[in-house]
A = this chain, B = another copy of it.
Amino acid sequence: MAADKNQPNRITELFGIEYPIIQGGMIWCAGWELASAVSEAGGLGVIGSGSMYPEVLKDHISKCKAATSNPFAVNLPLLYPDIEKHVESIIELGVPIVFTSAGSPKKWTSKLKSHGITVAHVVSSAVFAAKSEAAGVDAVVCEGFEAGGHNGREETTTMCLIPSVVESVDIPVIAAGGLYDGKSMLAAMVLGAEGAQMGSRFVATKESSAHNEFKKIVVELGEGGTSLTLKELTPVRMIHNQFYRKVIEAYEAKATNEELAELLGRGRSKKGMFEGNIDEGELEIGQIASMLQKIQPAGKVVIEIVQQYTDTGGQKLGKRFEF
* Chain A residues engaging chain B, CB cutoff 8 angstroms: 5, 125-127, 144-146, 153-161, 163-164, 167, 177-179, 181, 183-184, 186-188, 190-192, 223-224, 227-228, 254, 286-288, 290-291, 312-313, 316-318
Contact = CB atoms under 8 A, between A and B. Distances in A.
Contacts of A184: 159, 163, 191
Given A190-B183, A313-B316, A126 B223 contact: yes
Contact of A317 (B146, B254, B312, B318): B312
Contact of A127 (B144, B187, B223, B313): B223
Given A160-B288, A223-B156, A313-B316, A183 B178 contact: no
Contact of A312 (B125, B161, B179, B190): B190
B146 A157 contact: yes
Contact of A156 (B5, B191, B224): B224
Given A145-B145, A146-B157, A159-B146, A312 B5 contact: yes
A16 B145 CA distance: 36
Contacts of A155: 145, 224, 227-228, 287
Contact of A159 (B144, B153, B154, B290): B144
Contacts of A145: 145-146, 155, 157
Nearest to A313: B317
Contacts of A125: 223-224
